[in-house]
Amino acid sequence: MDTSLTRPQLALFWRKFAAACSAQGFADREAYRHAVLREEGGVEHLADLDRTGGFDRVMLRLCIDAGDWQGASHFETGTERRIAELCADCATQLLQLAGADETSALAYIGGILRQARLDPPSPCGGDWWLDVPEGHAVKVFQILDTHRRRLLRAADGLKTYVHGRRWERLSDGTLRHIDAPPPVPVRFRVVA
């Protein structure tokens, strides 16, 4: 699997790098770039930076140095956003496997939180996920993924988790996957 940065990530990096250099008045941009990559990403070269956590840490530093607090808050919650997406995807698959309406994925996840005694906040609109701590979200994903794998294995012997894949149960009881489904909006906010 290729872990190098995507073109949009590279473009974003260079834009934010230029803004940080400008805001801080750095004359030696090369030394600053290497220092940020080494301190935040643990790498010497941009080509060695991973697409997820490493990129988020480097971008967080650049946003702070550039005075972009909205960008900083976005990159501060990168892990939580990825976990939220996995939870929503897995819950949607479970509901499809059960033949239920997939728009109730958030309510289903809320039920899992309550059943696991993880004390979910009371649902108020579609943004109640904002108050779910990251550790609880990871546990919810593990619960959902284990249940999803069991259902798939029981149905057709399928074991592989494919993020973004959707399933439909046919009239004969077999499963087939559907591509490009509508996403379920889920977001997190880190709470202390």
* Amino acid identity for residue 7 in this structure: R
Looking up tokens 């809320």, which residue turns up? Answer: 110
Rounded CA-CA distance 48/29 in Å is 19
Write the pLDDT tens digit of every residue in 126-184.
555 656 777 777 888 888 888 888 877 776 555 444 555 555 666 665 655 555 444 44
Q: Which residues contact 136 (CB under 8 A, 6 or more apart)?
A: 113, 118, 120
pTM: 0.62
pLDDT (0 to 100) of residue 182: 44
* Every domain of the chain and the residues it spans: 7-76, 79-178
The span from the CA of 99 to the CA of 76, in Å, is 37
- 3-class SS string, 155-174: HHCCCCCCCCCEEEECCCCC
In the chain, the amino acid numbered 115 is: Q
Contact present, 36 and 61 (Cβ < 8 Å)? yes
Q: Say if CB 83 and CB 188 are below 8 A apart.
A: yes
52 pLDDT tier (thresholds 50, 70, 90): confident
pLDDT digits (tens, 9 = 90+) for 80-120: 778 877 887 888 887 877 777 666 777 777 777 777 777 65
- Diameter of the chain measured on Cα atoms: 68
